Amino acid sequence: MSQTSAVRTSGFGDFVVRYGVILLGVVITIVFSLTTSGFATLDNAVAILQVQAVAAIAALGMTLTAIVGDLDLSVGAVAGLSVTVAAEVMIRYALTGGTALVACLLAGLLVGGLNATLIVFLRVPPLLATLGTMFTIQGLKRWLVDGQTLTTGMKLPDGTTVKGRFTPDFIAIDGSSIAGIPISVLVFVILAIAVWVFLERTRYGRLFYAVGGNEEAARLAGTRVRRYKFGAYVISGLLASIAGIILASRLGQGDVTAGDSALLDAVAMALVGFAVLGARKPNALGTFVGAIFIGLIIQGLIMRGLPYYTQDLIKGVVLIFALLMSFAMRRGQRTARRGGFTAAITAVPEATADGTAAEDRAETAAGKDGHG
């Protein structure tokens, strides 16, 4: 009886761990669709993806670093740096949108390379290295604009007036659509698919997981561990700069606080991904689903009139839920399995003993009949 109960508990735990986040997302969608006017529309679905695109792209980069080591805490600051760099190039120096794109990407690659150097070659722990980089970048981007939001027509501390502006082609990144889908959403979806294919369908992606799973074993097998770890942080910096480009296109100015909230959002999306389909590891599909999951909750509650300043509270609760789904439920599932296994092992000698006793009784009875 205890064995059957343990097996049932294990089966239920398996189901909850694998499908809990997806099923909860479906339930949330149904509830908001029935109670909130305008929620169940294509326009709202596109709006959710567009709002989440910035943090989700940064989260894809964070997913890569989490696979080989640990979370990259500088992604939000790198996104904010891209906003500042874009504003400097187009507003202060009146250069083209294409020039701003290249400058933002180079800034992301530079920060990614700095993180990689600190972690891979100088052996600084990843969380400490990226935390230090985060604070450095936040200070740098404020220093570049003298702590002010850079806008067209503003006066600089030296008395000069800036006359540049964000170019139409740059604004179009988040402001224009193709077949009704914003370009920023298309960029997000394409990048998500590309990262998924890379990690799940290529030899290099499998080696990323090998490095993160057991670095020493991967090294002994001939994998160039340093190269893969270095590449993960560089790609993370590049993706964070792309997220910042979309944010800059959305804002149209050099906001000094831009990107500050992207870190928490990216962490939540990446960690929710751990619980999707019971993966219990960083993965691109989980990060994509995590972005949609968080977007559904936030968008639905905002449409229901929830104040914007409660969003961080909601994200924190969602994050705790995801961690419980991924880790606590998994531990309970393993305990149930061990209980079922123990019950099965215990039942073997008991059954053997019962069978032996029955055989002894049968032999005794047969002997008596023979003597009789």
Long-range contact set of residues 177-181: C-beta below 8 Å, sequence gap at least 24: 180/46, 181/46
| The pLDDT of residue 10 | 57
| The pLDDT of residue 12 | 64
| The pLDDT of residue 17 | 67
| The pLDDT of residue 278 | 67
First-to-last C-alpha distance (Å) of the chain:
42
| The pLDDT of residue 13 | 63
Query: What architecture is domain 10-331?
Result: Orthogonal Bundle (1.10)
| The pLDDT of residue 5 | 52
pTM of the model: 0.84
- Residue 336 CA to chain centroid, in angstroms? 29
Amino acid 224 reads: R
| The pLDDT of residue 145 | 83
| The pLDDT of residue 365 | 46
Cα dihedral sign, 293-81-137-162: negative
Tell me the C-alpha to C-alpha distance, in Å, between residue 193 and each of 164, 209, 286, 309.
Answer: 36, 18, 12, 32
Rg, the chain, Cα only: 28
Question: pLDDT in tens for each of the 372 residues of the chain?
Answer: 555 555 555 566 667 667 778 888 899 999 999 999 999 999 999 999 999 999 999 999 999 999 998 889 999 999 999 999 999 999 999 999 999 999 999 999 999 999 999 999 999 999 999 999 999 999 998 888 888 888 888 888 777 888 899 999 999 999 999 999 999 999 999 999 999 999 999 999 999 999 998 888 999 999 899 999 999 999 999 999 999 999 999 999 998 889 888 998 899 899 888 878 766 788 999 999 999 999 998 899 889 888 877 777 887 887 787 677 666 655 555 554 455 434 434 444 444 444 444 444 444 444 444 444
Residue among 194, 237, 245, 181 nearest 50 (CA): 181
Tokens representing 74?
């500088």
Biggest CA–CA distance in the chain, Å, is 125
123 close to 132: Cβ distance less than 8 angstroms: no
Residue carrying the six token digits 């009949």: 369
